[in-house]
Structure 1
Amino acid sequence: MTMTVYDELVARGLVAQVTDEDELKELINAGKAKFYIGFDATADSLHVGHFMTLCLMKRLQMAGNKPIALVGGGTTMIGDPSGRTDMRQMMTPEQINHNCECFKKQMSKFIDFGEDKALLVNNADWLLDLNYVDLLREVGAQFSVNRMLTAECYKNRMERGLSFLEFNYMIMQAYDFYHLYEKYGCQMQLGGNDQWSNMLAGTDLIRRKLGENAYAMTITLLLNSEGNKMGKTANGAVWLDPNKTSPFEFYQYWRNVADADVFKCMRMLTFLSLEEIEEIEKWEGNRINEAKEVLAFELTKLVHSEEEAIKAQESSRALFSGAAHADMPTTEIEEADLTDGAIDLISLLVKAELAPTRSEARRNIEQGGVTVDGEKVSDVKATFTKDALAGDGMVIKRGKKKFKKVVLK
């Protein structure tokens, strides 16, 4: 018996909470769901946190359902308090519009916005023209403050102080759902599990105002085995924009996930069939690194293209074997950096930003954490000549994940 679309979402570990499961399941399986997901335009690129949502939209669209991607030109003006302990920075309308345009470009890689296949809307179009008194009478009257204050998204903020501005966020999000239901017949909202309260506010508003049923489904947040959100590195978010996170760095992020997270990420994010993933799960011991390569390749292909995924994979393999490769992050050394035609390893580590200070670089070398072209170097006095840095240069690696190609300019 073939698995239904909804059953596959559950089997992949994507579904967290749903309202009216039987009805929602029926709509999705029949390809009759018109659903929306909101993206607040708080940056000029989507990141890994949005990635799973985009993959889910793609899966549902492939099954005949119709996605509405909503960029929050209006709600971004307020800022979502969910999961935050502080208030977001206020952004200018120009910044927000610029970010919305960037989102649209990136989403087009995942979602087919062809005729009647999907919609892209911006809630600035209806939220910014609302009359405050009308909104209070029309919508505000339907909300109980007592109930709103019990919502998870406000609880965290009550101790630190919740601004009235943010208190309105739930009302705005509920109004979005109500507007999309009326205008486009959108009967379902999907979003991260931290959005549950806001989504229920929308289904409730539609029921009170229109006497109609609407549905909500939340997606499991992508957490690693330590319970932290995935998609963050020491340098910040892992972006989908190649100018902010290169395809090579994007590939490396997934190539380096913890062993415990590989198969979960494969199920939730790739379009490999569950049968293929089950086969890969049987791989033993060292083959876990092969599984990580499969994961990294599939995701880089999805976000950047097959060509970029092949380049990133070749660079990554070159890194692991100690060979230099064209697409690797590179530091250029000038003749002026050399003393008597050579440069010491401590200086190279600092120049390549692999160690913040000379003493830290020295400690890394002494502890055996530095390799040059795949060979461990534990001599703090090691130096490299002009010839070693010429041509393709050499790959210096500190620890498991930090590396640079160093070449003479």
Structure 2
Amino acid sequence: MTSAVLDELKWRGLLANSTDEEALAAALEAGPVTFYVGFDPTAPSLHFGHLVQLIVARHLQEAGHRPLMLVGGSTGQIGDPRDSGERTLNPKEVVAGWVERIRGQVEQYLDFDGPAAATVVNNLDWTGEMSVLDFLRDIGKHFPVNRMLARDVVRKRLDDGISFTEFSYVLLQSLDYLELHRRYGCSLQFGGSDQWGNITAGVELVRRADDARVHALATPLMTKADGTKFGKTEGGAVWLDPALTSPYAFHQFFLNAEDAKVVEYLKVFTRRSHEEIEELARQTAEQPHLRAAQKVLADDVTALVHSPQERDAAVAAASALFGRSDLRDLPGAVLAGVVAELGGAELPAADGMPSVVDVLKRSGVVASRGAARRAITEGGAYINNVKVADVDAVIGADDLLDGRFVIARRGKRTVGAVTLVDAP
């Protein structure tokens, strides 16, 4: 038995594991399947790794299957155990606020009308009303402690210690599958491959508690070419919230995708056809300097997560940044995103207007004031894409973009920025 949607997920590299692929394919072909994927609000936004799960949910919904998008109001108060040590628990009211923010993010990727309409659910609805005794009697009795101790993350944490709170997380996530199976007839859960132990524990709980057979699949984790992970704990997280990662920075992240990974990302994150992706793969192999695949990837994913308008603004910002169009044409919000990505220094306006030499140094495009002077005399220094010829030049009010930013450039590619704080 094969399934068209399962075959598509496999071709796109979105299937890392499943409990029984043949049985799952048969279920998907037999009729609409209700499925769920969960997101714990352990931060104020989802990041690009979560986007994989949203895209899988969209593939399944477009094939006629019904999504349950779970935002973990209860599991988010606990947090899945990490190899690195015990989590700091966030206040309940903070988690509640993050639940609503993440609910809003999830809702933009799926259809909430029609026969396969999506539903957002919160697991606090059933755990919040459950007593400790009921939880231990009805759920805990189905979990052999020896199996829980055998979990990789628990084994790694035993020497340094793991709290009962985090040790019990697997019971809470498994309870979600049982409740969604009972309330909505849910028979498929999926998530990242790092959640496989929790996911299969839920499958087992449904079998033990209700004598029912349900399914699970896992998606691969997105990695760099050297095998290291992306994610908020590895530094440099790429958030879906534009207030945390600007559309410009988001676009730049995908534009800088490694040649060795860009085709993989195209399959995962875009709607491009097999033929289009194969053509982009050919271009990457034969003319990697053109970065055709990276441009398509960055444009498509930015339009998906933010909007076509934000994509166009990000492309325009990159063009202006390197002198191909006028920086003054960029809206203030776009400029703010560019400056945030460049990471320039803040200069107090009360200290007066800085010299061009100071701006070149404080923006990071040169290492010293002497190097700034040399760049000017050699004709390689630019302020807002205008070449500077005078080593004694001072920034004027007219040089401030959006009344506060100055973009500095050395040569063709080295760009930085400064921001005048409390600028007039």
Indicate the TM-score class for this superposition, using the shorter chain for normalisation: 0.7 to 0.9
CA shift, 1:320, in A, is 3.8
Q: Mapping of 1:156-305 within 5 angstroms?
A: 156-230=156-230, 236-283=236-283, 284-305=286-307
Give the equivalent residue in structure 2 for 1:308: 310
Please give the per-residue CA displacement for 1:106-145, whole angstroms capped at 9, x wherever unaligned: 1121012225511110000111221212221222111111
Deviates more, 1:189-198 or 1:325-334: 325-334
Q: Which residue of 1 aligns with 2:382?
A: 372
TM-score (normalised: structure 1): 0.86
| Aligned partners of 1:321 and 1:373 also within 8 Å | no
Aligned-partner Cα distance in 2 for 1:219–1:198: 14
Aligned residues: 398
Structure-2 separation of matches of 1:234 and 1:139: 34
* TM-fit CA distance, 1:47: 1.2
Q: In structure 2, how many angstroms separate the alpha carbons of the residues matched to 1:128 and 1:77?
A: 12
CA, structure 1 residues 167+387, in 2 after alignment: closer, same or farther (shift >3 Å)? closer
Q: What letter corresponds to residue 313 of structure 2 in structure 1?
A: K
Which range moved further: 226-235 or 251-260? 226-235
Whether contact under 8 Å (2:44, 2:101) holds in the other structure is: yes
User: What residue in structure 2 maps to residue 107 of structure 1?
Assistant: 106
Q: Would you say the 8 A contact 2:42–2:77 is kept in 1?
A: no
SS for the counterpart of 2:16 is strand
User: Which 5+ residue runs of structure 2 have no aligned equivalent?
Assistant: none
Deviation at 1:200, TM superposition (A): 1.0
**Can you give the 5+ residue segments of structure 1 that lack an aligned partner in the other structure?**
none
**Shift in Å, 1:270:** 1.0
How far the C-alpha of 1:19 sits from its partner, in A, is 0.5
Post-superposition offset of 1:98: 0.7
Change (3 A) 1:364 1:265: farther
Q: Report the Cα distance in structure 2 between the residues aligned to 1:50 and 1:371, rounded to whole angstroms.
A: 41
SS of 2:291's equivalent? helix
Partner of 1:73: 73
- Aligned equivalent of 2:399, options 362, 380, 390: 390
Mapped contact 2:280–2:292 kept (Cα < 8 A) = no
SS at match of 2:43: coil
> Aligned partners of 1:209, 1:401: CA distance in 2, in Å?
62
- Counterpart contact for 1:203–1:216, Cα < 8 Å: yes
Match of residue 94 from structure 1: 93
**Residue type matched to 1:390 in 2?**
D
User: Does 2:138 align with 1:138?
Assistant: yes
Q: Note if contact 1:29-1:63 (Cα within 8 Å) is conserved in structure 2.
A: no
What is the CA-CA distance between 1:346 and the residue it aligns to? 4.1
Q: Percent same amino acid among aligned pairs?
A: 35
Per the alignment, residue 404 of structure 1 pairs with 417
* Displacement after TM superposition at 1:163 (Å): 0.8
Instruction: Report which stretch shifted further, 397-406 or 238-247.
Output: 397-406
Kept in 1: contact 2:36–2:189 (CA 8 A) = yes
Please give the TM-score of this superposition, normalised by the length of structure 2: 0.83
Residue equivalent to 1:20: 20
Deviates more, 1:394-403 or 1:212-221: 394-403
Letter in 2 for 1:264: E
Aligned to 1:8: 8
